Amino acid sequence: MTSQQRFAMRTVVVTGAANGIGAATARRFLAEGARVAVIDREADELQAAYADCDRERLLAVHGDCTDGDQLAEFHRRAVARFGPVDVLFNNVGQSGRERAAPFAASQEEVWRFVLEVSLFTAMRMSRLIVPTMHERGGRIVNMSSDAAFVGDAGLADYAAAKMGIVGFTRALARELAPRGVTVNAVAPGAIRTRAHDRLPPAVIERIKSTTPAGFIAEPEDVAGVVAFLASDEARYITGQTLLIDGGRWML
């Protein structure tokens, strides 16, 4: 873990932070001195993920990110505890998972869920935070996926939502650049998360074989990129989507 303190005295918000990339990134910000507010609907996992962390610099809230009122209350509590938000990582999102299907057999209720959790949550959380960033500057990092670029079969709704994140990132970046706010996205490929661990071994091997790097990354690999984009070192980078997928898709 890094010994840098790039985020000392800064307030960071991470959504969907009970495990995987969200937890790894929140812990990375904590390690670099930030005051971090996290939200997730899985209460037990949320508490376990930060059991060894400095509670003075952590606010962990049990809540559903698809509920606009709960997001607003989370934001209110974060600001009351730590002050205005300097960094927002819109991490929460998922595919239809066990309800995913080829498009001809897919259901609209699943599309709506995937779009809600993977796109609308980012838009709502950003809308809460942007007015203050207008005055102070800041960093927003959104979670896309290489599925948006590759177009994986059976994930049409997820690919649409995650490409929506790319468009949202670009438009918001252009609006906010004059205000000293950068807005970027990360698009991970195969990362060793809880959902990924449920895949059959044959699928894991196929993913490895189609990834030039030849291995599956850890959540910490994504956390390091998010931390860079949120730092002062990335002040001249905005509107970009960085793929973190071992070369599976190259722009």
Strand partners, 13: 37, 88
CA 176, 6, 141, 35 torsion-angle sign? negative
Please state, in angstroms and rounded to a whole number, the distance separating the CA atoms of residues 205 and 196.
12
Class of residue 208 by CB neighbours under 10 A (exposed 0-12, middle 13-18, buried 19+): middle
Please state, in angstroms and rounded to a whole number, the distance separating the CA atoms of residues 170 and 172.
6
Active site residue 50: no
Please state, in angstroms and rounded to a whole number, the distance separating the CA atoms of residues 229 and 242.
10
Which of the residues 29, 82, 89, 158 is marked catalytic? Answer: 158
Please state, in angstroms and rounded to a whole number, the distance separating the CA atoms of residues 160 and 148.
7
Please state, in angstroms and rounded to a whole number, the distance separating the CA atoms of residues 177 and 109.
36
Residue pair 28/220 in contact (Cβ under 8 Å)? The answer is: yes
Please state, in angstroms and rounded to a whole number, the distance separating the CA atoms of residues 23 and 185.
17
Half-sphere exposure at residue 3, Cβ-oriented, CA atoms within 13 angstroms: 0
Catalytic residues: 158
